[in-house]
Amino acid sequence: MNCCKRTLAFVTCFFLVLQLTAQDSLNVYPSHWWVGMKNRNLQLIFYNRFKNLSVDKGVIQSAHPAIKIKKLHKVSNRHYLVVDVEIAANAKPGKYKISFGGIIRSEWNHVFFELKPRSKQNGKTRIQGVNSSDLIYLKMPDRFSNGDAGNDRIAGLRDQSLDRSDYFKRHGGDLKGIQNQLDYLQQLGVTALWLNPVLLNDMPDRTEHGYAFTDHYTIDPRLGGAKAYHELIDSLHKRGMKIIQDAVYNHTGIEHFLYRDMPDSSWFHWWPQYTNTTYKDQVLMDPYAAAIDKKRMSDGWFTGVMPDVNQHNSFVANFLIQHAIWCTEEFGLDGWRIDTYAYNDLAFMNRCNKALLDEYPQLHLFGETWVHGIPNQSYFVRNKYNIPYKSNLPGVTDFQLNLYGIVPALTQGFGWTEGVNRLYLTATNDYVYTDPTKNVLFLDNHDLSRFFSMVGEDIAKLKMGIAWLLTFRGIPQLYYGTEILMKNFADPDGKVRLDFPGGWPGDAANKFEPGGRTPAENDVFNYVSTLANFRKTSTALTTGKLMQYVPEDGVYVYFRYNAQQTIMCVMNASEGEKQLDLRRFAERIKTYTKARNITDGTIADITGRFRVPGKTVWVGELQP
């Protein structure tokens, strides 16, 4: 009996300590900063969900001139305190005491805010930017490889699912699993990784995709947390590879602490009754659009579990911008892909982009613009239009060259505006962009049907798409598993997010190894690897100009060239062989007489008529 009483007392005391610790849990966002930043003004948000921070007649003090208190803001929710500070130009790395409270000094809060030294490798081996010399590999961390089974489930998080037989449950892939496969990715020719969001998604269900953040400053522990993220990125940079983080500014998850315990209601958009976005980006540029349609597009919620963030609120804007800068500096990011770009407040996006590029001029930013029409897409990126709204976004995900380019080129018969003519016609409109080479090309992604399925599981056509991807203008992006014939349509979209075979112990086949792949899979893997690794050292393909010719008889010819190298690409989308009179291309062929086929090394005579097999993109380097 006494033993039971002692146990009960111990348990009671234990939970009391936990409660007291939780009540004294004071967080500051951002959690730390760096000396020597170009913009030395910072807005700190202090938060304690159990305690009143905004006491009457509150005072805040800095114990050192390295951090100057400029202004104290009180918000309606007293769990928060917002403070403007200035980091001294001569501040040294260290931990600096900030104190705040009311009349009773013994109840004051004390925080040691750390200023860290900036990496001397910024712009060199880290934060290099991403450009047309890169090949981006997009992967969903939860579905690629499980390197640490110990983090598959994390106690205390809402989603405890772990079921690989269910498309919509978590499967256990993580950052360590990705790190374990870097040899595979380098062999393939990949130079940059774009991961679907890695921030904490403490949602009750459907969390495998990561687009509903619940804490901006925590890397999801089910992926391995900040330690694993640092280790992965450090490993990438040591190999000369790059990392792209997925940004979501438009919304949060409904379980985000900023929504569940709001500083005040103005942090999110509200309607008399639930209102979804219309997804109609056209109203943003439509000279005849109604104001309510514009508001519903921008301020409507993306889904019922993704509250729409009010970026007109200066505190919100500062929180998002500072987080982007914090992540870039903390992890050494080389680029940002910006989710649902068109749904954000566009003035805010210009401000956010500028803040990042002012601090890191070499950084690359590209936005998701799943819109229809070249005027629509180009509206959201740097363009040559003389219109009131001018975007400063460097690049976009080029949905036009996907939906109205390579897909119809390989799925439609040849016609005046069909087949390869559609690809040619779409490319002719590049004149609207300030720099189309900063746009990201792709065959598919985590939201679209896999390209192999789109072309009827025809390997020849898949190779055509891959050849175009790796030889056209822009930054190519390959979706994980394309190189091993992963397939399926986007309805339901879970099927385009299946696990990479071999990423889990006990998988029936290991597609990371040649012996685990079928002959057809090895054929496509080797095809990608040959072109991608050639591309790394090809100045014509990475930085050269593009010249295209009007398609004739189902054949589309384009050249990538500079003073050092000329690459000829011949796309024959027809079923049968075609003959070309190469004299038509004398402007680019000039005095060259031969061409080396990049994929098989054979030498072709290019002085007369030229035969191209059906369902082929012939890629050749011209030689004297």
Give the residue carrying structure tokens 């860290």. 116
- Is residue 348 within 8 A of residue 378, CB to CB? The reply is no
Q: How far does CA 612 lie from the centroid of its chain? A: 37
Residue 339: active-site member: yes
| Nearest alpha-carbon partner for 585 in 560, 604, 559, 562 | 559
| Nearest alpha-carbon partner for 499 in 166, 206, 231, 175 | 166
Which helix (H) or strand (E) is 408 found in, with range?
helix 407-411
Helix H segments across 191-337? Answer: 225-238, 257-260, 291-299, 314-331
Which helix (H) or strand (E) is 522 found in, with range?
helix 519-536
d(CA 45, CA 321): 13
Phi-psi region of 564 (alpha: psi -120 to 50; beta: other; left: phi over 0): alpha
Give the residue carrying structure tokens 């390295």. 66
Q: How far is CA 392 from CA 210, 322, 354, 422, in A?
A: 27, 18, 7, 28
Q: How far is CA 592 from CA 558, 589, 608, in A?
A: 16, 6, 12
Using alpha carbons only, what angle is made at residue 364 by residues 359 and 365, rounded to the nearest 5 degrees? 95
| DSSP string for 165-196 | TSTTS-----HHHHHHTHHHHHHHT--EEEES
Rounded to the nearest 10 degrees, what angle do helices 346-359 and 314-331 cross at? 30
**Which listed residue (368, 398, 444, 483) is catalytic?**
368
Burial category of 343 from C-beta neighbours within 10 Å (exposed 0-12, middle 13-18, buried 19 and up): buried
What does the block give as tokens for 566? 């000329």
For residue 596, the cross-strand partners are: 603, 621
Backbone φ and ψ for 309, nearest 5 degrees, come out as: -80, 135
d(CA 621, CA 44): 56
Give the residue carrying structure tokens 């030689």. 623
For residue 579, the cross-strand partners are: 611
Backbone φ and ψ for 357, nearest 5 degrees, come out as: -75, -30
d(CA 505, CA 487): 22
- Is residue 565 within 8 A of residue 540, CB to CB? The reply is yes
Residue 84: active-site member: no
**Which listed residue (215, 246, 299, 339) is catalytic?**
339
Instruction: Write out the catalytic residue numbers.
Output: 339, 368
